[in-house]
Amino acid sequence: MDFPSEYKYTKDHEWVLVVGNEATVGITEFAQSELGELVFVDLPSVGQAVEQNGALCVVESTKAASDVYAPISGIVAVVNEALQDEPGLVNTSPYGDGWMVKIRDFSQEEVSALMSADEYKALVGA
Amino acid sequence: MTAKVAHKIRPQGEDGSMKNAFGESQFASRHNGLSERAVEEMVGFLGLDSLEELIAKVIPSGVRASEPLKLRSFPAPYSEYEALETLRRIASKNIVGRSFIGMGYYDCVTPPVIQRNILENPGWYTQYTPYQAEISQGRLEALLNFQTTVIELTGLPVANASLLDEGTAAAEAMVMSQALVSKQSPGSSKCEFLVANSIHPQTLGVLMTRAEPLGIEVRVATPDDFTFSERTFGCLLQYPDTQGVIESYAEVIEKAHGVGALATVATDLLSLCLLKPPGHFGADIAVGSAQRFGVPMGFGGPHAAFFATRDEFKRSIPGRIVGVSKDVTGKSALRLALQTREQHIRREKATSNICTAQVLLAVMAGMYAVYHGAKGLRRIANRVHALASTCATLLRNGGVKAPLTGFFDTFTVDVGEKKSILVRDEAEKIGVLIRAIDDRTVSVSFDEAKGVCDIVSVLSVFGVVSSFEEVQAALESSCSTIPESLRRVDSFLMQPVFNSYHSETEFLRYVRLLESRDLSLGYSMIPLGSCTMKLNATSEMLPVTWAEFSGLHPFAPRSHVAGYRELFENLEQSLCDCTGFAACSLQPNAGSQGEYAGLVVIRAYHQSRGDGHRNICLIPTSAHGTNPASAVMAGMRVVSVACDAAGNVDVEDLKRKAQQHSESLAALMVTYPSTHGVFESGITDVCSIVHSHGGQVYMDGANLNALVGLVKPSEFGADVCHINLHKTFCIPHGGGGPGMGPICCREHLAPFLPNHPVVDLEHDRGVGAVSAAPWGSASILPISWMYMAMMGSDGLAVASSHAILSANYVAKRLEDDYPVVYKGENGFVAHECIINLQLLKQEANIEVEDVAKRLMDYGFHAPTVSWPVAGTLMIEPTESESKQELDRFCEALIAIRQEVRDIANGVYDSVDNPLKNAPHTVDDVTADEWNRTYSRRQAAFPVPWLRSNKFWPAVGRIDGVYGDRNLFCSCDSFE
């Protein structure tokens, strides 16, 4: 299982990658394998303010519907529209094309406080 | 043992305990599937001496009822014949008048071929929700026909597989509108819902009850006076309205959309055969009742409500949706779509607590459309409209103030000041039931079952004398009075299924074809845990279609329903006897509705004591997902209570949470025996902890089938509970509804039980209406009456103890192959058991779903899958199954276990094996080529008994992912 080292992680299985002023958020490979094939991703609206640990979006597979929590506080800058038609991208490319949301106006401290790849790896026992 | 003395369970049969005045009743021994000899063998197999010993070990002594059950209404059990005779006498006290009342309930003609072959047919009514789609294709197709009918007639592209009634469907529309609008404009506080004053009063009643705890402000006005503001999230209109008026709503809907609000139109399917559909003038949601599509009025229900909406809202639609997908071979196949939105997964985040639909009635309504086709439906609608128009015209010609145009089937008559009640009561004397709207207005509604004679009668009510021939002539020359701009111009129901079965032979064969694709209790046991799939005896079912029960309008005058009143009294009293409670409301239409009703009753009780701030609802993590969903609907905040390793409520955690929220504790919701299938010994403590912090205890009655005659919830501390009459008291599951979820409560909660805006239920401080009809689905209550009348007090206790015995027998027979997850203190389970299949995954990569599908090849419906614990099966055999059937089922599971070992041992391939390829269809095993690693015999006939009695799944394993990613819910996409 893959745990890219440049990403930060949460105990709820989200990942964050900061590029410039935006933090991209998605769910981990472990999370997608637990959920099974996704059938729908209910994305937030652009411009919506989100709070750390608050609900960010809902992912549905045929066996579960789960909340994805915001790893950091901020404003939703971009959502991955491609997931509307192809939710399976989260399964096939959880760290790449399967990203969900880009957040702006976040605090770098909140990001730094998240788990490292090694810490997360230990959490899921991989 | 405590001060309470456990009474002995008296065995059925020879000791005389089940005798009545006419001799020995045989019914209990027919209902209970275990013979005396089987009981002995099974008790011995468990290493015990007697059934009583088992019960004493299963039920903690302090919890056992202090005295034997005594049903006051049924001192001695009746035989089937005697019960039917007695109920006939009660039924004869009902008077079946000619109803012109309308208000969403219309007399109709149930095609006899539908009545006998669907409504009265166990091949259609005994199943539960079609979770195992491969063996439910017939019902799913019938539901797809229903959805297509709704889609076509409302002009909206997505419809669900039915809701409970029009009132709750409107409430669901309100809640869904708020959720959608809030999501579109995050941060705004939109809490105002505008409701036309021309909706049915019972719909308004249900809306008001639902709105209050959620903080929704309902504003009632004429649609022309609606003031939309930034706070408005939606509006509700009725089309045609409750007084029969048809008007254009395009403008008001445009205004709604202008402020970002959504418009719901409550409507009538028959009128939509002639009227412009709501989807064509901007409606976002359409709701209503499909009752008049061939389903009897039944004094209020059960009927299928419908719910249709726009494509972009399809993932927010409440209830169950049948969707088109494909099976493993690419063949079109149906299954329930978007299942994970349901409360069993979403819990307090679910937007609705609806689970049960009204499948049997939706199937009937869909089949009514198949039977008549568009042409037939239009003919019926035209005739109903012509009857109403002719009657109104002749009244006007006779000098009576009736309208000439602007209505479909209902018109009002101005009878002069303070005359309406007088006119209504005079009409009643000649058996004509009309509605008094206000002090000078009455209304008259026509329907499919009316004719020329009825017009003559109505005319006479208003003093207009006209002969049959004159009316006949007027009817023949009548023409549509519907305004041109509101007439339907497009065609509908052009799909082949609605245009192919118009001879009775063809129609009957279609019904039987679909029936043959559904595994029902008529074929084998359906051991769904938590669902109580017991016998629905034929004698219990017969009265449902007696005219004295099925032919009554829910708002028929009190003097016409003495029989029903007597039946209700018997039932309410008996349910109180069983639970030990003081009062009962028969109004809630499903278990989920009972939960919600019970919680709003608790809320009202707290408010009455100045404790309105109490809003915390404690719910164990093991609870049914509906519990948290219902709590949120009742305006409560959910706090979860942990379960310990043995699966019981963690009493220490409960104490902590109760203490922490002591000031604001409203209630605890607890299931007993627990959803883990165990009689928890701590239940009395659990209840008293909650009481000591000022909370009330709501008992989820889903598992009451283990309690009746053995344990009374009132004695261990519950304050209110619901009772699933469709589980414990033999109402069949109907393939996924109807259900009934009455609630029983202690004296102090009784004043707050539901009341009704049209019929006075004498609960002065009641919480309002929770269902559209005053007594919910009244016409199926005779089923539970018959059951209790024939079982008697002792028979009911025997049934509960046999249910417990069977579950323990199955648990022990399977234990070497499948460990039992939870047991009580003495190592026994309650009336159901959870077996663990998680090891199979490690051993051979076999999922619990593979075993569920493989059971189909063995001719069984799977138990409950992965609930309440992932990777498990929950088995509830019920008292009605024989030992042979239990053995057959256990043998199937044991044989499947061996197949899994054979995969692990390399006998079968890890991918190409009987489990991963299950279920096997006729196409599979009769194909010219067979290149699997196991034989055709092993695929389809793995055990000998299948040779003489094989049920073939209609399709192979269904691709759920494909269907959920591409939601189609009408016949157009189904081949």
Could you report the per-residue pLDDT of B938-968, keeping only the tens digit for each?
Answer: 999 999 999 999 999 999 999 988 988 888 9
| Strands B696-700 and B720-722, sheet pairing | parallel
Is residue B266 pLDDT above 90, yes or no?
yes
The stretch A77-87 carries a mean pLDDT of: 94
Nearest chain A alpha carbon to B959:
A62
Facing residue for B345 by CB, picked from A44, A65, A88: A65
Test the B interface: residue of A33, A34, A63 with most B CBs within 10 Å: A63
DSSP code of residue B481: -
Tokens matching residue B22: 């006419």
Angle at B838 between CA B834 and CA B841, to 5 degrees: 145
Distance between CA atoms of residues B551 and B220, nearest Å: 33
* A45 to B961: CB separation less than 8 angstroms, yes or no: no
User: ipTM value of the model?
Assistant: 0.83
pLDDT per residue as tens digits for the range B723-757: 999 999 999 999 999 999 999 999 999 999 999 99
- State which residue of chain A sits closest to B865, comparing Cα positions: A63
B453–chain A Cβ distance below 8 A for any pair: no
Separation between Cα atoms, residue B905 and residue B913, nearest integer Å: 12
Closest Cα in chain B, distance from residue A6 (Å): 32
Residues of chain B in contact with residue A45, where contact means CB-CB under 8 angstroms, are 183-184, 186
- Whole-number average pLDDT of chain B: 95
Could you tell me if B965 lies within 8 Å of chain A, comparing CB atoms?
Answer: yes
Of A39, A42, A45, nearest to B186 by CB-CB distance is A45
Q: Which residues of B touch A67 (CB under 8 A)?
A: 349
pLDDT band, very low/low/confident/very high, at B10 (cuts 50, 70, 90) = low
**Predicted pLDDT at B320:** 92
Instruction: Tell me whether residues B346 and A87 touch, CB distance under 8 A.
Output: no
Distance CA B936, CA B458 (A): 68
Residue of A nearest to B342 (CA): A65
Phi, psi of B87 (to 5 degrees): -70, -30
Contact flag B345-A62 (C-beta cutoff 8 Å): no
Contacts with B338 from chain A: Cβ below 8 Å: 39-40, 60
Distance between terminal CA atoms of chain B?
64
The predicted pLDDT at position B15 comes to: 42
Residue B21 has a pLDDT of 41
DSSP assignment of B740-771: ---EEE-GGGGGGS---SSS--S-TT----SS
Question: For residue B618, how many other CB atoms are within 10 A of its CB?
Answer: 29
Q: What distance in Å separates residue A42's CA from the closest CA in chain B?
A: 9
Tokens 């015990």 correspond to: B48
Q: DSSP class of residue B225? A: G
Residue B23 has pLDDT above 80, yes or no: no
What's the gap in Å between the CA of A117 and the closest CA on chain B?
Answer: 27
User: Cβ atoms within 10 A of the Cβ of B451, count?
Assistant: 15
**Cβ within 8 Å of residue B839, ≥6 positions away:** B819
Report the residue from B186, B340, B960 with minimal CB separation from A48.
Answer: B186
What percent of chain B has pLDDT above 90? 91
Residue range B27-43, pLDDT digits in tens: 999 999 999 999 999 99
Token pair in block for residue B571: 């039932």
Q: What is the mean pLDDT of residues B880-901?
A: 98
Q: Give the residue numbers in A contacting B (CB under 8 Å), as ranges.
A: 37, 39-40, 42, 44-45, 48-49, 60-65, 67, 87-88
Contact A31, A7 (CB under 8 A): no
Contacts of B113 (CB under 8 A, 6+ apart): B371, B504, B507, B508, B511
Q: Which residues of A touch B186 (CB under 8 A)?
A: 44-45, 48-49
The pLDDT value given to residue B632: 94
Q: Is the CB of residue B227 less than 8 Å away from at least one CB of chain A?
A: no
The per-residue pLDDT for B972 is 85
> What is the pLDDT averaged over residues B99-115?
98
**Distance between alpha carbon A100 and the CA centroid of its chain, in Å?**
6
Cis amide bond preceding B302, omega within 30: yes
The residue among B182, B315, B340 with the most chain A CBs within 10 A of its CB, best to mutate, is B340
Q: State the smallest CA–CA distance between residue A65 and chain B in angstroms.
A: 5
pLDDT value of residue B344: 59
- Ramachandran sector of residue B73 (left: φ over 0; alpha: ψ -120 to 50; beta: rest): alpha
pLDDT at B1: 34
Residues of chain B neighbouring A63 (CB-CB closer than 8 A): 340, 866
Interatomic CA distance for residues B440 and B420, integer angstroms = 5
pLDDT band at B606 (very low <50, low <70, confident <90, very high): very high
- Amino acid occupying residue B61: S
Q: Is the peptide bond before B543 cis (omega within 30 degrees of 0)?
A: no
Q: What is the pLDDT of residue B625?
A: 86
Rounded to the nearest angstrom, the minimum Cα separation between B269 and chain A is 32
Q: CA distances (Å), A67 to each of A26, B458, B640, in order?
A: 12, 59, 17
Quote the CA–CA distance of B416 and B88 in Å, as a whole number.
42
Contact A60 B338 (CB under 8 A): yes
- What is the full DSSP assignment across B52-121? HHHHHHHS-GGGS-SS----SS-SSPPPHHHHHHHHHHHHTTB---EE---TT-------HHHIIIIIT-
**What pLDDT, on a 0 to 100 scale, did the predictor assign at position B351?**
73
Q: What is the pTM of this model?
A: 0.95
Of A39, A42, A49, the CB nearest to B964: A39
pLDDT at B473 over 80: yes
Checking if the pLDDT of B675 tops 50, the result is: yes
pLDDT at B17: 43
Decide: B638 and B665 in contact? Cβ < 8 Å.
no
**pLDDT over 70 for what percent of chain B?**
97
If you average pLDDT over residues B306-329, what whole number do you get? Answer: 94
Residue B24 pLDDT more than 70?
no
**For B938, how many CA atoms within 13 A lie in the half-sphere containing its CB?**
17
Residue B841, pLDDT > 60, answer: yes
Q: Tell me, what's the pLDDT at B7?
A: 58
Residues of A within 8 A of B964 (CB-CB) are: 39-40, 60, 62
d(CA A37, CA A31): 11
Interatomic CA distance for residues B815 and B821, integer angstroms: 10
E-state strands within B759-866: 833-836, 864-865
The answer to whether B311 faces chain A, any CB pair under 8 Å, is: no
Q: Two tokens at B296?
A: 């009897």
Mean pLDDT of B198-203: 98
Look-up: residue for tokens 């930060």?
Answer: A8
CA nearest B186 in A: which residue?
Answer: A48
| Alpha-carbon gap, residue B731 to B824, rounded angstroms | 29
User: Does A65 contact B187 at a Cβ distance shorter than 8 Å?
Assistant: no
Q: How far apart are CA B352 and CA B632, in angstroms?
A: 9
Verify whether the Cβ–Cβ distance A62 to B183 is below 8 Å.
Answer: no
State the DSSP code for B649.
Answer: B
Query: Residue B3: its pLDDT value, please?
Result: 39
CA distances from B494 to B140, B153, B281 (A): 20, 12, 22
Per-residue pLDDT tens digits for B748-782: 999 999 999 999 999 989 999 999 999 999 999 99
Q: Which residue type is seen at B531? A: C
pLDDT digit string, tens, across residues B902-943: 999 999 999 999 999 999 999 999 999 999 999 999 999 999
- How sure is the predictor about B342, in pLDDT bands with cuts at 50, 70 and 90? low
Where helices occur in B492-624 by DSSP H, the ranges are: 504-516, 538-541, 547-550, 562-579, 591-608
**Can you tell me the mean pLDDT for A100-117?**
96
Chain B residue at shortest CA distance from A88: B965
Are the Cβ atoms of B965 and A87 closer than 8 angstroms? yes
Residue B801: the pLDDT is: 97
Other Cβ atoms less than 10 A from the Cβ of B178: the count is 23
- Mark yes or no for CB contact B965/A65 under 8 Å: no
**Chain segment B213-249, per-residue pLDDT in tens:** 999 999 999 999 999 999 999 999 999 999 999 999 9
pLDDT in tens, B354-391: 888 999 999 999 999 999 999 999 999 999 999 999 99
Strand order in the sheet with B616-620: B583-585, B743-745, B720-722, B696-700, B665-671, B616-620, B637-641
Interface mutation target, options A33, A62, A83, chain B, most CBs of B under 10 Å: A62
Give the distance from residue A62's alpha carbon to the nearest chain B alpha carbon, in angstroms: 6
How far apart are the C-alpha atoms of B779 and B381, rounded to whole Å?
Answer: 26
By Cβ distance, the residue of A37, A65, A87 closest to B341 is A65
Span B511-560, pLDDT tens digits: 999 999 999 999 999 999 999 999 999 999 999 999 999 999 999 999 99
Indicate yes or no: CB of B345 within 8 angstroms of CB of A88: no
Among B349, B865, B961, B966, most A C-beta atoms within 10 A, so best to mutate, is: B961
In chain A, which residues have their Cβ closer than 8 Å to the Cβ of B348?
none
Look at residues B360, B495, B447, B271 and name the one whose alpha carbon lies nearest to residue B968: B495
Residue with tokens 């759920």: B960
Tokens of B721: 């509970």
